[in-house]
Chains A and B, each alone.
Chain A
Amino acid sequence: MTRVLIAEDDANIVELLSFVLGRDGCAVTAALDGDEALRCLRSAPPDVMILDLMLPKRNGFEVLKAVRSDPALRALPVLVLTAKGQARDRSLVEGIGVDGFLTKPFSNTDVVEAVRRLGRR
């Protein structure tokens, strides 16, 4: 069973992803802001993290940097979700290191497949 942490501030999307991924056999937890996401990562490291870039308190870039600079979390597969979808953001996060990049609005299937792929590693 793949453990997935969703860091996303929009409640509707959290509910949606929980439903879709849960149906596919994932154990989903959610964090509504960046700080909470980091706390969750450290207390119960997931197999995959889905990260929104526009997060309150500590945004997705900062969370990602913290993950990649933390030896315990460095290898964590991260799937970035963003509503910004601009090339600049994509190259920015790819510079830090991500394992998947999806633009909102996304297809549910793409999310599920990405999580499956990352979870197998």
Chain B
Amino acid sequence: MFSANLVLPIALVYVALLFAVAFVGDRRARAGRVEWLQSPLVYTLSISIYCTSWTFYGAVGSAARGGLEFATIYLGPTLVFAGWWVLLRKLVRIGHLHGITSVADMISSRFGKSAPLAALITLIAVIGVTPYIALQLRAVTTSIEVISSAGPEEALGIAPAAANAHAGFWIAAGMALFTILFGTRNVDAKEQHHGVVAAIALEAVVKLVALLAVGLLVVFGICDGVADSFARAAPGLLHAPEGFGTRWVALIFLSAAAIVCLPREFQITVVENADERHLVTASWLFPLYLFLITLFVLPIAIAGLSVLPQGSNPDMFVLTLPMWAGNDGVALLAFLGGFSSATSMVIVACIALSTMVSNHLVMPLALRFRWVHLNASGEVRRFLLASRRASICALMLLGYLYFHYSGSGEALAAIGLISFAGVAQFLPGLVGGLYWRNANATGALAGLVAGAVLWAYTLFLPSLGAGVVFTPELLRDGPFGLALLRPQALFGVTWLDPLVHALFWSLSANTLLFVLGSLAREPRPIERLQAALFVDVFRTPAEAASGLIRRTAAAEDLRVLAERILGGDETRRFFERAAREQGLEYGRPVANDAFITQLETKLAGSVGAATARAMISEAVVLESIGLDQLMQLADETRRAREHSRQLQEKSGQLEAAAGQLRAANARLQRLDQEKDEFLSQVSHEVRTPMTSIRSYAQVLLETPGLDPDRARRYVRIIHDESVRLTRLLDSTIDLSLLEHGEVPWARAAIDPEAALERAIRSCQGLAGARVRLQSSERARGATVEADEDRLCQVFINLISNAIKYNTNPAPQVTIRSALRGGAYEVEVADNGPGIRAEERDRIFSKFMRGWAYLQTGASGAGLGLAISRQIMRRLGGTLEVVPGDGRGACFRVTLPARAPAAA
């Protein structure tokens, strides 16, 4: 129809257009004009690289073979994007915060920046995606064959057997060139590839328009409208017996997993995302795109089956139908649409995979085996770019080789699904890592290995065909004739579809080992930290958490390191900005922890987190992790435990406080009671003299002719009782002051004997001739620290009590003083009625009078001894009742004495 000479130039012009768009996009981005390049629309269109040639050609093929089943591949992504809040938002947020460069980087970062994990994921991704790239090559070459075919057999795709290997090679080479030019301009893999994004957005539009055009042509050109186009359907096509069975559920799940795990999807959705809010638009626009692009799949498939000859290749209906209808324009558009869907996938897949390969496979090896010398400025950077470009070429070559040597029998959809199932092995680690705090690298590695091995054994290797790796006997009878291990009927599970079978075994083993491996050991500190940062990404500000690791390094070392990766200009800009942020006008920033973390994130954008961490640690001279804080931050259980411990402690403290309060309350109640009793006592003590004063005064007032003697006597009583009342008030106040001790006393070194002498002298009057006051042994030259007046008051109280309450017919009071054991002692003894044993404890209480008081009726407020004891207490001495010599009472005053003065 078209000659190859016409098709190829058209394709080349289209490619040139793509180059131009990419170039303009890059130029604009470099000039800082990124407006439309960073719009949610472009973002959503670029996500549509999900729709590869597998969709463009394969969906119709799939529908022609299995009816509605093709829709499952688009339901999964629709669900994921509609529920973007659950998973995608978290992925994108983490991607931004940690400078994530790929799905391998994401998972390895989560599990403590594990390099082996990143390498393994890269390996699986390469193995899984290579057939997918080959698939695109085959679709493009086949489409070229078809559109430029001469004979009707080839045109209808009945015998497209020998796909043009030369065309395939040159297409691969062209895509490699494009990818290298626009995908590896900068070493910073985190940097958005605006040119590429612009080009693939254009391609997204082209493929959608193309498929819609073909659809419209089929429905309204070939068929007689919608109703007619469906009426041609073979019975049973739209009523697949498998409908909504396990295979459907598995396919929906698989496609949902793929939209997250596919390296190219991850690249576009997470790495190239400029603004988290674009997800909101994508959440409805991408499903809408999927809806539109699949809208005419069924009519095209039905029309192809009904109008094209038997044996036509359903995978090429999109192209062969317009050709059959003789509409060259639509046919060419369809060809370009298929070309677009294939190239955009390959380009992005290569960018994503090359980043992974160079960061996670090549760089770690290069660092280990000293292929690059870290001290040569710029060398690492050059090496990184070279390795990335080489990776692109290698990947493309791998795809080409697979395309060249693989059998051409497989349907497009089948290859795509095998690839999906391969990358779906990332799912447990990725999702588990985002939501399960205790997940660790051991679990992730074990799960991945098991999942990948089972995937390869049950799906990938058998798909290569009998005789390539597995012998037909092995496939039929199992290895060594063990039927239980038959690759496509593992453990005797024969009733499942091969894809569902593989998916079931690989993901079950993967998940199980992921969980068991994670439970097998405690997470390491770095894993805890990363777990906290990832799982709690919406709760923990990155800065707060990074502050937990304290590192220092020489700024010069860091600069050298950065220059090697980022280049001189970029490094200088980065360091100058950091210095400005630190408030330093000149020179370089302080290599504090914040700066090191900042630099590590920056470098991670180029070489991935694991490698960046390894490089930085070479420069870091001191690294300490605030383990306690880390645990507290990272381990929810621990935090909960800590919390409950604190609560317990607090409740303990509260209990103690409550106990103290209860005790204080009891004390207050006791004091209150004492106060009441004291007031009651004072009241009583006041009322008694008051009664005499009032009533005698009343008698005097109301009895005019009172006998003068009697009147005088009554006046005397009034006088005496007034004095008693005054004394009582004085004592009460005195005692109150003593008890609450607000007034400081003048304490000085005094001779206690002088105070004693003064007291004896002032009691002579009270004793009179009746009582004999005698002082026997006396201490001489003693010195005590005391207030002399107060001490004298105590002595007077004791001596006057001994006199007043002495009922002995020959009353006598004996006063002794002595220095004994470093203490000055005074004893006042009498031969009165004494103090009964039961009174000894209470005799010093307020208003307590001994029984001797009753014997004598001597006046007294009952406060003297209480006051004296308080005084002695404040002077640092004691006042006590001593048994004495058996008759009468004996009180002893003790005061600590100073060393006897030289006398």
Q: Which residues of A contact B (CB under 8 A)?
A: 10-13, 15-16, 19-20, 33, 54, 56-57, 83-86, 103-109
Minimum CB–CB distance from B448 to chain A (whole Å) comes to 87
Interface residues of B in 640-686 (CB under 8 A from A): 680, 683-685
Contacts of A54 in B (CB 8 A): 684
A106–B691 contact, CB under 8 A? Answer: yes
Q: In the complex, which of the residues B680, B685, B699, B721 contacts A19, with contact meaning CB atoms closer than 8 Å?
A: B699
Q: In chain A, what residue has the closest Cβ to B713?
A: A15
Task: Please judge, given known A-B contacts A13-B692, A56-B854, A86-B680, whether A108 and B687 are in contact too, CB under 8 Å.
Answer: no
A12–B680 contact, CB under 8 A? Answer: no
Contacts of B683 in A (CB 8 A): 83-86
A105–B684 contact, CB under 8 A? Answer: no
Contact residues of A: prevailing secondary structure = loop
Q: In the complex, which of the residues A20, A83, A84 contacts B695, with contact meaning CB atoms closer than 8 Å?
A: A20
B687–A83 contact, CB under 8 A? Answer: yes
Contacts of A56 in B (CB 8 A): 854
Minimum CB–CB distance from B349 to chain A (whole Å) comes to 98
Q: In chain A, what residue has the closest Cβ to B717?
A: A12
Q: Which residues of B contact A (CB under 8 A)?
A: 680, 683-685, 687-688, 690-696, 698-699, 702, 717, 721, 854, 857
B691–A13 contact, CB under 8 A? Answer: yes
Contacts of A20 in B (CB 8 A): 695, 699
With A85-B683, A104-B687 given, name 14 new contacts (CB 8 A).
A11-B857, A12-B696, A13-B688, A15-B717, A16-B691, A16-B696, A83-B683, A83-B691, A105-B687, A105-B691, A105-B695, A108-B695, A108-B702, A109-B698
Task: Please judge, given known A-B contacts A57-B854, A108-B698, whether A84 and B684 are in contact too, CB under 8 Å.
Answer: yes
Q: Which of B683, B691, B694, B854 has the most CB of A within 10 A?
A: B691
A104–B688 contact, CB under 8 A? Answer: yes
B854–A33 contact, CB under 8 A? Answer: yes
**25 A-B pairs whose Cβ atoms sit less than 8 Å apart in the complex:** A10-B691, A10-B692, A11-B857, A12-B696, A13-B692, A13-B695, A15-B717, A16-B691, A19-B699, A20-B699, A33-B854, A83-B685, A83-B688, A83-B691, A84-B683, A84-B684, A84-B687, A86-B683, A104-B688, A104-B691, A105-B687, A105-B694, A105-B695, A106-B695, A108-B695
Q: Which of A16, A85, A103 has the most CB of B within 10 A?
A: A16
CA of A103 to CA of B699 in the docked complex: distance in angstroms?
A: 18
Q: In chain B, what residue has the closest Cβ to A103?
A: B687
Minimum CB–CB distance from B36 to chain A (whole Å) comes to 94
Minimum CB–CB distance from A73 to chain B (whole Å) comes to 25
B699–A16 contact, CB under 8 A? Answer: yes
A104–B690 contact, CB under 8 A? Answer: yes
Contacts of B698 in A (CB 8 A): 107-109
B688–A85 contact, CB under 8 A? Answer: no
A105–B854 contact, CB under 8 A? Answer: no
CA of A12 to CA of B702 in the docked complex: distance in angstroms?
A: 18
- Of all A-B residue pairs in the complex, the 6 with the closest CB atoms, nearest first, are A83-B687, A105-B691, A104-B691, A105-B694, A83-B684, A12-B692
Contacts of A11 in B (CB 8 A): 857
Q: In the complex, which of the residues B687, B696, B721 contacts A85, with contact meaning CB atoms closer than 8 Å?
A: B687
CA of A54 to CA of B862 in the docked complex: distance in angstroms?
A: 14
A12–B721 contact, CB under 8 A? Answer: yes
Q: In chain A, what residue has the closest Cβ to B710?
A: A19
CA of A10 to CA of B698 in the docked complex: distance in angstroms?
A: 18
Contacts of A109 in B (CB 8 A): 698
CA of A64 to CA of B144 in the docked complex: distance in angstroms?
A: 131
Contacts of A84 in B (CB 8 A): 680, 683-684, 687
A105–B693 contact, CB under 8 A? Answer: yes
Contacts of A106 in B (CB 8 A): 691, 694-695
CA of A104 to CA of B687 in the docked complex: distance in angstroms?
A: 6
Contacts of A57 in B (CB 8 A): 854
Minimum CB–CB distance from B319 to chain A (whole Å) comes to 113
Q: Which of B692, B693, B717, B721 has the most CB of A within 10 A?
A: B692
A105–B699 contact, CB under 8 A? Answer: no
Contacts of A107 in B (CB 8 A): 694-695, 698
CA of A85 to CA of B681 in the docked complex: distance in angstroms?
A: 11
Contacts of B717 in A (CB 8 A): 12, 15
CA of A33 to CA of B680 in the docked complex: distance in angstroms?
A: 21
Contacts of B691 in A (CB 8 A): 10, 13, 16, 83, 104-106
Contacts of B688 in A (CB 8 A): 10, 13, 83, 104
